[in-house]
Amino acid sequence: MIEAIQNHRSIRKYKHDKIPPDIIEEILRAGSRASTTGNMQVYSIIVTTDHGLKEKLWEAHFKQDMVRAAPVHITFCADFNRFNNWCHLRNAEPGFNNFLSFFTAAIDALLASQNVCLEAESRGLGICYLGTATYNADKIIEILELPHGVVPVAAIVMGYPDEQPELTDRLPMDSVIHYEKYREFTRKRINAIYHEKENSSQTLELLKLNDADSLARIFTDKRYTKKDNEFFSEKFLEVIRKQGFLD
């Protein structure tokens, strides 16, 4: 498992081989053993292998080809629907129609998703995280017929790798780990933390391709613009509201 963690890489090309059902079951079982708030398990995991549904999910995920190529697509949802129904059946009045409850369920779902990814990689499978699950949550809700109280918060594709990309770089440990209290980032420290990333051959090629003067500008002006962030934030908030978490 440690080796799988240290060698994680996003896989975007997959072989056509199907994953045996018993392997999928064991991977999902690992997800179900993740930590969960109050042992409520307020999440759902939706495994999609049907070609027609995957085609629709491909559209929702901005037509990323790996959604078509991978044999398995998994959506992780914040889900208070099941828990609320159980409460009603036991004459208990649930009070989970609020943002805190959504956030709690989202944390549960993400913890489960990481367990799934780690177990899959430890078995020689490849995965790739799809951040677009929240960008087009409304479309995914329609495709997967998610009821009131259920919101997609993450998705992955999974299958046998048909590529072996280089490991992506990571910032120095000092940039993300704080001992005892938060340590503010000085200008000198920021420059030191990002020096290697900004001067890598990959970054220099990226700057050339994007005609940009800094890697930071690629993130702010190309990949995650203020306009897009605000648009998709409002869109996702509306989804959360419609699904019953901001009543």
Q: Could you read off the pLDDT of 15-73 as tens digits, one per residue?
A: 999 999 999 999 999 999 999 999 999 999 999 999 999 999 999 999 999 999 999 99
Could you give the 3-state DSSP secondary structure of residue 47? strand
The mean pLDDT of 151-166, rounded to a whole number, is 96
Query: What does the DSSP 8-state code read for residue 243?
Result: T
Containing H/E element for 201? Answer: helix 201-210
Q: Are 85 and 69 in contact (CB under 8 A)?
A: no
In a 13 Å sphere around the CA of 161, the CA atoms on its Cβ side amount to 16
Average pLDDT over residues 71-99: 98
Label residue 7 by pLDDT band (50, 70, 90). Answer: confident
Q: From CA 120, how far away is CA 141, in angstroms rounded?
A: 25
Q: Say which amino acid occupies 207.
A: L
Question: Cα(first)–Cα(last) distance of the chain, in Å?
Answer: 42
Average pLDDT over residues 164-178: 93
- Any residues with CB less than 8 A from the CB of 196 and at least 6 apart, and which? 169, 172
Q: Which two tokens stand for residue 189?
A: 């420290």
Q: Does residue 2 register a pLDDT over 80?
A: no
> Sheet harboring 43-48: ordered strands across?
43-48, 72-79, 150-159, 126-129
pLDDT band at 247 (very low <50, low <70, confident <90, very high): confident
Query: Could you tell me which of 86, 53, 89, 85 has the C-alpha nearest to residue 68?
Result: 53
Q: Among candidates 5, 238, 51, which has minimal Cα distance to 134?
A: 238
Quote the mean pLDDT of the chain.
Answer: 96
Q: How is the chain split among helix, strand and coil, in percent rounded to 5?
A: 55, 10, 35
Is pLDDT of 123 > 90?
A: yes
Q: Is the pLDDT of residue 141 over 90?
A: yes
Query: Is the predicted pLDDT of residue 6 greater than 90, yes or no?
Result: no
Q: Per-residue pLDDT averaged across 200-228, rounded?
A: 95
What pLDDT is attached to residue 222? 92
Reported as a pLDDT band with limits 50, 70 and 90, residue 3 is confident
Length of the chain: 247
CB 159 within 8 A of CB 48: no
Contact criterion met (CB below 8 Å) for 8 and 121:
yes
Write the DSSP symbol of residue 98: S
Q: Which amino acid is at 39?
A: N
Quick one: pLDDT band at residue 132, thresholds 50, 70, 90?
very high
Which structure tokens are listed for 132? Answer: 């677009």
- 87, 73 Cβ separation under 8 angstroms: no
Q: What is the spatial distance between Cα 125 and Cα 17, in angstroms, rounded to a whole number?
A: 11
Tokens 């799934």 sit on residue: 116
Contact 242, 146 (CB under 8 A): no
Tell me the mean pLDDT in the region 228-246: 96
Rounded to whole angstroms, the Cα distance separating 101 from 2 reads 32
